[in-house]
Structure 1
Amino acid sequence: MTMMAGLQIHQEELAGRITLRLEGTLDWRTAAQLRHSLEALGPREVMLDFTHLREFKDTAVGVLTQSLPAHQKVQFRGLAGHHERMFRYFGVSTGSAPRAYYTPEEILA
């Protein structure tokens, strides 16, 4: 487990895939430290688990996407719709299908 001011990272490895379970607050400062942790893992498959975050600041998305290693396969779990869209705005696929902004009833109206 890695501890940063306001953020705990629990690292678990199963079948060659590393899961980084994040707890606490993810902001621009802790996101920069998380990015360095990702870079240190090299070309391994990594799952970022946001399920247990208490707070997720939008500034963290910009910091994380600045240099997500192109050679590393990063998957995401536990993202709210807002943060899924934020990652897509920065050109990073979260693996889930984009959600409709309007319901079918609103489109027909």
Structure 2
Amino acid sequence: MAGLEIQQEELAGRLTLRLTGTLDGRTAMQLRSSLKELGTREVVVDFTHLREFRDSAVGVLTNDLSERKVQFRGLAGHHERMFRYFGLTTGTLSPARAYYTPEEVLA
């Protein structure tokens, strides 16, 4: 069973949560808990290094994220749209490399 690793990095007063592994409904709960522990701090969530990002995670995260000041890095266009469908503006930062599914990489 794949999991999610969340690394916190602070540079110049900006806190970044770097995600590696798999983000799905179960591991999205883990990310929600990490965000709650940070209180009202402004956070950048970096999806760039995820191996897999399932749509079910978007639904789990959306309610909590709408109440926070969060920016996203490394979202694929599909996941940006999914967050917007749930009414959440992604505030996406220019990623060095966007997340792609293996099928998109092979195409």
Fold match (TM-score > 0.5): yes
Shift of 1:32: 0.8
Structure 2: how far apart are the matches of 1:40 and 1:29?
A: 18
> Of the two, which has the highest radius of gyration?
1
Of the three residues 58, 72, 89, the one matched with 1:93 is 89
1:48-75 C-alpha deviation (Å, 9 max, x unpaired): 00000000000000000022262x3100
Of the three residues 59, 62, 75, the one matched with 2:59 is 62
The aligned residue for residue 46 of structure 1 is: 43
> Is the contact made by 2:14 and 2:44 (CA closer than 8 Å) also made in structure 1?
yes
The aligned residue for residue 82 of structure 1 is: 78
Alignment of 1:30 onto 2:27: yes
Structure 1: how far apart are the matches of 2:85 and 2:29?
A: 19
Shift of 1:15: 2.0
Unmatched 5+ stretches in structure 1: 97-109
- Corresponding residue pairs, total: 91
Shift of 1:16: 1.9
Structure 2: how far apart are the matches of 1:11 and 1:69?
A: 21
Structure 1: how far apart are the matches of 2:11 and 2:37?
A: 18
* TM-score, L = length of structure 1: 0.79
The aligned residue for residue 99 of structure 1 is: none
Cα RMSD (Å) of the superposition?
Answer: 1.3
Moved over 4 A (4+): none
> Is the contact made by 1:84 and 1:94 (CA closer than 8 Å) also made in structure 2?
yes
